Amino acid sequence: ADSFNFMADQLGVLMRATAEKASLDREMALARNVQEAMNPPPGLITHGGLSVVGHCESANFCGGDWWTVRKLPRDRVLVVVGDVTGHGVSSAMIAASARGAVEALSTVNDELLTPEEVLRAMDGAVRDLGKQKLLMTCFAALIDSARGVIEFANAGQNFPYILHAGQRVGPEDATPALTVLTVRGNVLGDPQRSLVQSGRRDLAPGDIFVCFTDGVVDRVNGEGKRFGDRQLQKLLKGTEVRRDQELVALRDAILQQLTAFAAGTPADDDVTLVLVQYNPAVAHLSPEASSSPRRAVL
């Protein structure tokens, strides 16, 4: 009788623990769905002479990686890629707050919007909520397809690339030129106060802006080897993108290469990859944009 009573008590404890775990699993699944909904859709996004495609995948239920793209007047887009330290719900909440700061800022006064102001606004959100325990690396780019210009600012993020599809280097001009956007800055929420550095570059038709978090280049296989920047650059240089469909194929090829390299080893960090191609020849001008003068890009 004592044994049966003990078993009954333990069964009750197990049933309560199972119910609590099921409830927690549902909550985590809901949090993951909400976070995935915050990122742009996986399909191609077009605006003026710009085509944007991206991918964001969390290593756990919730992660700290995120990205967003905002369509702005006069054929411009704002692209922001961020990576909050750590994983889990707390990192996801910081990411959501930072994304909310971008959304609010981009709708207030786009005339004065700059990548530096975007990062400074997010720095305040990360600093208030993270309490110097959670930090965030971030890269913001404002791309103007009417003028063929990209302005950018970096806060501790991996250096993005510009793949110059129309320029060739190497034997028989077989390899596309690749420019690394080497601007540095402190991470957002840094106790020493964030230092944001910015830059500006002209774009040529066909150029592709490639932005990613460290989960891409730091992906490891079973032998502990990193995927690395060199392998990513080699993959980019070996691809020519002429149409929007090929831009999507390039994103998918990079992700497939990462999966093949890992060879079944689980990812220990979130993976985010964003590609933006400048192609003014296919721009669909709005009445407002077509009424304003446009500078030719040769």
Distance of alpha carbon 25 from the chain centroid: 27
Mean pLDDT of the chain: 79
Q: Please report the sign of the dihedral spanned by the C-alpha atoms of residue 52, residue 57, residue 62, residue 66.
A: negative
- The band of 104, judged by pLDDT with boundaries at 50, 70 and 90, is confident
DSSP state of 226: B
**DSSP assignment of 245-271:** HHHHHHHHHHHHHHHHHHTTPPPSS-E
- Of the listed ranges 17-21, 78-82, 199-203, 273-277, the least confidently predicted one is 17-21
Q: In the chain, what percentage of residues exceed pLDDT 70? A: 73
- HSE-up (13 A, CA, CB side) for residue 157: 36
- The band of 217, judged by pLDDT with boundaries at 50, 70 and 90, is very high
Strands (E), the chain: 45-47, 50-57, 65-72, 76-84, 136-144, 149-155, 161-169, 175-180, 197-202, 208-212, 271-278
- Of the listed ranges 79-88, 106-115, 214-223, 288-297, the least confidently predicted one is 288-297
Q: Are 215 and 65 in contact (CB under 8 A)?
A: yes
Instruction: State the burial class of residue 35 (Cβ atoms within 10 Å of its Cβ: 0-12, 13-18, 19+).
Output: buried
Q: In the chain, what percentage of residues exceed pLDDT 90? A: 35
| Dist CA 39 CA 213 (whole Å) | 15
Tokens matching residue 257? 């290469």
Q: What is the pLDDT of residue 294?
A: 32
- The band of 107, judged by pLDDT with boundaries at 50, 70 and 90, is confident
Q: pLDDT at residue 103 above 90?
A: no
Q: What is the pLDDT of residue 173?
A: 47
pLDDT digits (tens, 9 = 90+) for 109-144: 677 789 998 898 888 778 777 666 788 899 999 999
pTM: predicted TM-score of the whole model, two decimal places: 0.80
pLDDT digits (tens, 9 = 90+) for 17-31: 666 656 555 555 555
Q: How many residues does the chain have?
A: 298
Q: What is the pLDDT of residue 175?
A: 54
Q: pLDDT at residue 292 above 50?
A: no
User: How many other C-beta atoms can be found within 10 angstroms of the C-beta atom of residue 44?
Assistant: 16
Q: What is the pLDDT of residue 34?
A: 59
User: How many other C-beta atoms can be found within 10 angstroms of the C-beta atom of residue 205?
Assistant: 16
- The band of 58, judged by pLDDT with boundaries at 50, 70 and 90, is confident
Q: What is the pLDDT of residue 290?
A: 37
